[in-house]
A and B are shown apart, each in its own frame.
Chain A
Amino acid sequence: MEALLAIGTRKGLWLARSSNGRADWQVTGPHLPMTDIYALAIDQRAGSPRLLAGVTSEHWGPGVATSDDLGVTWQEPEQAPISFPEDTGAALERVWQLTPAPEPDVVYAGVEPSALFRSADGGRSFELVRGLWEHPHRPQWTPGFGGMAIHTVLPHPTEPEHVTVAMSTGGVYDTTDGGKTWAPANRGIHVKFLPEEYPEFGQCVHKVARHPARPDTLYAQNHHGVYRSDDHAKSWQSIADGLPSDFGFPMVVHPHKPEVIYNFPLQADEHRFPPDGRCRVYRSEDGGGSWTALSGGLPDNGFYSAVLRDAMCVDDADPAGVYFGSRSGEVWASADEGEHWQRVVEHLPDVLCVRAAVI
Chain B
Amino acid sequence: MAKVHLPSMLRPIAGDQTVLEVEGATIAAALDELRDRYPALERRLRDESGALRRYVNFYVDGEECRRLAGADTPLAARTELMIIPSVAGG
A and B bound? yes
Interface residues of A (CB under 8 A from B): 34, 57-61, 76-80, 83-84, 86, 89-92
Task: Determine if B40 and A76 form an interchain contact, defined as CB atoms under 8 angstroms apart.
Answer: yes
In this complex, what residue of B is CB-closest to A81?
A: B43
The docked-state distance in angstroms from the alpha carbon of A320 to that of B63 is 58
Contact of A59 among B39, B40, B49, B56 (CB under 8 A): B56
- Whether the pair B39, A91 counts as a contact (CB closer than 8 A) is no
Question: CA separation between A76 and B41, bound complex, in Å?
Answer: 12
Interface string of B75-90 (1 = CB under 8 A from A): 0000000000110110
Q: Which residues of A contact B56 (CB under 8 A)?
A: 59-60
Which residues of B from 25 to 48 have beta carbons under 8 Å from A? 38-40, 43-44, 47-48
User: For the complex, what is the distance from the CA of A167 to the CA of B76, rounded to whole Å?
Assistant: 47
The reply to whether A91 and B89 contact each other, CB–CB distance below 8 Å, is no
**Is B11 on the interface with A (CB-CB < 8 A)?**
no
Chain B interface category by residue count: 10 to 19
Q: Is B69 an interface position by the 8 A CB rule?
A: no
Q: Closest chain A residue to B49 by CB distance? A: A91
Structural contact, B49 and A89, CB atoms closer than 8 A:
yes
Closest to A76 in B: B40
Bound form: Cα–Cα A84–B43 in Å: 13
A61 touches B89 (CB 8 A): no
B39 touches which of A58, A60, A79, A89 (Cβ 8 Å): A79
Q: Write the chain A residue with the least CB distance to B40.
A: A78
Give residues 46-64 of B contacting A (CB, 8 Å). Answer: 47-49, 51, 53, 55-56
Q: Is the contact region of chain B dominated by helix, strand, or loop, or is it mixed?
A: loop
Task: Please give me the residue from chain B that is nearest to A91 by CB atom.
Answer: B47
Contact B53 A60 (CB under 8 A): yes
Whether A91 and B55, one on each chain, are in contact in the complex, defined by CB atoms closer than 8 angstroms, is no
Do the beta carbons of B48 and A60 come within 8 Å of each other? no
Q: Is the CB of B48 within 8 A of A59?
A: no
Q: Once the chains are docked, how many angstroms separate the CA of A219 from the CA of B71?
A: 47
Q: Which residues of B contact A83 (CB under 8 A)?
A: 43, 48
**Contact A80/B48 with A59-B85, A59-B88, A61-B43 known, Cβ cut-off 8 Å:** yes
CB contacts (< 8 Å) of B85 on chain A: these are 59
List 9 additional contacts besides A58-B55, A60-B56, A91-B49; criterion CB under 8 Å: A58-B88, A59-B88, A61-B43, A61-B47, A86-B49, A89-B49, A90-B49, A91-B51, A92-B47
Contact (Cβ within 8 A) B49 A60: no
User: Please, how many angstroms separate the alpha-carbon atoms of A45 and B10 in the complex?
Assistant: 34
Complex Cα distance, B85 from A59, in Å, reads: 6
- Residues in B whose Cβ lies below 8 Å from that of A86: 48-49
Closest chain B CB from A92 CB (angstroms)? 7
Q: A78-B39, A79-B39 are in contact. Are A34 and B89 (CB under 8 A)?
A: yes
Residue among B38, B49, B86 making CB contact with A84, cutoff 8 Å: B49
